[in-house]
């Protein structure tokens, strides 16, 4: 298997780990534009990867 390496991601890899889940935390923050949340519905939301 070939190992893929993306050196620009090392800051993320070495950063402190966050407890929780982005699908639970991001909608609570009300920072839709920054978090790339495109749509909020009654039971779901759309977030870009």
pLDDT digit string, tens, across residues 5-30: 888 888 888 999 888 898 999 999 98
Confidence band of 47 (pLDDT split at 50, 70, 90): very high
Which residue bears the tokens 């800051």? Answer: 11
Per-position b or e across 9-38, b if 16+ CB within 10 A of its CB: eeeeeeeeeeeeeeeeebbeeeeeeeeebe
* Alpha carbon distance 40, 9 (integer Å): 29
pTM above 0.85, yes or no: no
């Amino acid at each position: 298997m070939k190992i893929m390496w993306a050196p620009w991601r090392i800051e993320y890899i070495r950063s402190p780990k966050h407890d929780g889940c982005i699908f639970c935390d991001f909608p609570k923050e009300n920072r839709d534009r920054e978090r790339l949340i495109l749509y909020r519905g009654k039971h779901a939301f759309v977030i870009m990867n």
